[in-house]
Structure formats: C-alpha cells, structure tokens
Amino acid sequence: MEQTWRWFGPQDPVPLAHVRQAGATGVVTAMHQHYRGEVWPAEAIAARAAEISAAGLRWSVVESIPVPNEIKLQGARATEQVAAWIESLRRVAAVGVRTVCYNFMPVVDWTRTDLRWETAAGGLALRFDMADFVAYDVFVLDRPGAAADYAPALVETARARLAAMPPERIDSLERTIIAGLPGAEAAHDRAGIAAVIARYDDLGPDGLRANLTSFHKAIVPVAAEVGVNLCIHPDDPPFPLFGLPRVVSTAADAQALFDAVPERQNGLTFCTGSFGARRDNDLPRMVEQFADRIHFVHLRNVSVEDDGSFIEDDHLGGDADMVAILRRLLAEEARRRDEGRADAEIPFRPDHGHLLLDDQTKTVLPGYSAIGRLKGLAELRGVIAALTHPEVTGH
C-alpha cells in the first residue's frame, strides 16, 4: 500500500520535508485557496505538482474537489458548477494525479464538538459528543422542528448539558461545529447555516441520492476518459446532522451508488473512522464487499458510545479491527497485481491523530498535527510489514 500524507499546501504547519521524514512517499492535497466551486487554475495546479515533486514526493491523491451545495440541490447553477468540477478534474489528471476524493455531505463537512478532548494518556483527541451537538442544534441554533429528530431523553440531557455550559464553552462549541474544520468546503455563521439548512427542507434522502446519481453520471465517464479513479468519502459522522439527509453512511448506501453507476471509476474512499462511527457497519466485511471499488483509504479508529458519541482513538485502538481491515486490503492489492492492473497499489493515509508532546503548544490544524499522525503511520506500517512478512505469508 502506498503511504501518503494529507498536506494543506504551503500554509500547512507541517512542511513537505517533514512529510518525507515521516516515511510517506505520496501527498494528498487540493487547491484549498480555490474552494468555492470555481475551476482550479491550471498554472496553480502545475505549480503545486512541481513543488511536491521538488520535495522528492509525488502528488498521489486530490482531496478534495469540493461539490457545492448547488450541485447537491440541483439548483439553478448546478449545470455550470458540474462543468467547473469536470474541468478541474481534467486539469489535475493532466499533471498525473490518478485518484480524486470528494464528498457529498450537505451543508456541513466532517463535524466534531471538541477538538481537544484529553485522553487517559494525556494526549488530546477529537470528539463528537451527541448531547453537545443536540444542545447546539435544538437550543442554540434553535432549528425549527429539531427536537423531533432526537429521542426525548436525549433532548433533556442536552438541555441540562447546555444549562451547565459557561458562555465561552457555548461559543467554542458553535465555532467547532459550524466554522469549518480543515478541508471543509465552507465556514458558516449562525444565520448563514440556518439559511442553507432551510434550502434542504424539501429534499429527503431519496432526492439527495438521485442528485448524487445525476452527478456521477456526468463525472464518471470523464474520469474514465482521463484515467482517474473517483472515490467518494463517506459521511462523517455517518448519520444525519441538522435534519439533513446523508446518503453515504452504510454498506447499503454505497451499494446503491454503485448499482446506479456501475463503472469501476465510480469508487470509494474507505474511511475506517467515518464508517466505524456506526456500530452496525461491519468494516472488514465492507472491505470485502467493495474491494474492487476501494481506490483510497483513510485509516483511523474511533471508540463509539451507546448514544452515538465517539472519540478518535489510537490508530490501533478503538472499535475497528485494523489488522483484519489491512489484511483484506492487502489481499485486494495482490488480486489486482495478478490481474496486471495499473492501480494495484492502494494509497492510504493515517487519518487524523492525537495531539501529542510539544505539538500541544504549537499552532496546528485540528486532526492534522505531525506527531500524532507520525505515530499512527508508524503503527500502521508495522502492521503491514508483519502481514506481508514471509513468515506470515509463507512465500
């Protein structure tokens, strides 16, 4: 498997020289300064590719070309913005990128409620607390009808939680939920997010899935033409937020997308943390089910609580059986090599990581500090080395 590292461009606190020191060979990045649905400038793409190459690395994956809400809603500008998305796809393919990740989450991208949750070992983890989220949705944002989306007992727990929060914690919670985490398409204020959520009032899961299928029918043929594998990222977390539909949360969701557009270029970013935040997702079985469609992998682990809350755990801790998942991914790589496929090697990156050691006193991007990801990559590399050792494989 190809070891890669997410990098947010020259403004990233972790420089490319440190990416090389971590042992990664591939870079996962995007043109984050052009993130509002416009076509990415060819000159900027070429410059980014040259910068990565000069550092002794290769641009392995684009993550992400953002999909604006207008496309998800099939709004008035959808045709124009799909065309812009396709042109950006053509331009990254022209510099040799062969894997493009994206998501179809309405309004909010990946979402957490706490960016510095202290672990037993003293590291700081990302956390999604269901009661905190419900407190914000129902009582702070005051979304119409929000209380009906949750169990009454959870609403009462959220009410009590909010009552005990000092004002600065409420402000921090709001910023964490709606201001946009690294790689997100957009940041919002309270009035702005309420307005965008309202646009989805008449679009349920079936409507959003139909719009995603329409999008796939437009972009997948182009991906096949230019030699790119597309890989949709699952919802994070994999359940509705703010009453909005989410349609890439389960194995059934993924199968429906692939049944609708069966070309192999219509693939999946297998994120163990996102899918793993639902206890009814059997991750090793999902790897087997979608092996031929998995074009990119995010490896992180979560520990899920009874109410749906979760923390991002150590890469080899948490609820996901990382050894079993990697064993199946390596078997898929071997199968592809036997077929002579050019995409036999699957890129993966250590997703997120605890805030550790002196990174706790540095300016870092939430989830993307250096030391926690370095630790995770080293652990994952060790598992792969063990699973591919002749003493284990027999050859």
Query: Can you spell out the DSSP letters for 2-54?
Result: EEEEE---TT-SS-HHHHHHTT--EEEE--TTS-SSPPPPHHHHHHHHHHHHH
CA 160 vs CA 131, 147, 214: distances in Å = 9, 14, 43
- Quick check: helix, strand or coil at residue 167? helix
Nearest to 234 by CA among 255, 245, 215, 250: 250
Q: 280 vs 28, 304, 308, 321, CA distance in Å? A: 29, 11, 11, 14
- Would you call 18 a catalytic residue per the annotation? no
Which among 114, 132, 188, 233 is annotated as catalytic?
233
How far is C-alpha 358 from the chain's CA centre? Answer: 26
Does 233 participate in catalysis according to the annotation? Answer: yes
Alpha-carbon span 2 to 300, nearest angstrom: 16
Sheet strand arrangement including 310-313: 114-118, 124-128, 310-313, 301-304
Q: 3-class DSSP state for residue 296?
A: strand
Between CA 259 and CA 219 the distance in angstroms is 16
The single residue of 137, 150, 271, 354 carrying the catalytic annotation is 271
Q: Residue 97 in contact with residue 60, Cβ under 8 Å?
A: yes
Catalytic entry in 109, 114, 235, 351: 351
Is residue 35 part of the annotated active site? The answer reads no
Instruction: Name the catalytic one among 298, 313, 314, 359.
Output: 298
Q: Does the active-site annotation cover 315?
A: no
- Return the exposure string of 157-191: e unless at least 16 CB atoms fall within 10 Å of the residue's CB, then b: bbeebbeebeeeebebbbebbbebbbbbbbebeee
The number of helices, as runs of H, and strands, as runs of E, in the chain is: 15, 12
Cis peptide preceding 64, ω within 30 of 0: yes
List the catalytic residue out of 188, 216, 315, 352. Answer: 352
Question: Would residue 295 show up in a list of annotated catalytic residues for this protein?
Answer: no
Show the tokens assigned to 260: 């609708």
Residue 231 bears catalytic tag: no
Of the candidates 151, 158, 146, 152, the one whose C-alpha atom is nearest the C-alpha of residue 194 is: 146
| Interior angle at CA 278, CA 274 and CA 283, nearest 5 | 70
Determine how β-strand 124-128 pairs with β-strand 114-118: antiparallel
Which one from 102, 150, 200, 368 is the annotated catalytic residue? 368
Q: Catalytic site residues? A: 233, 271, 298, 351-352, 368
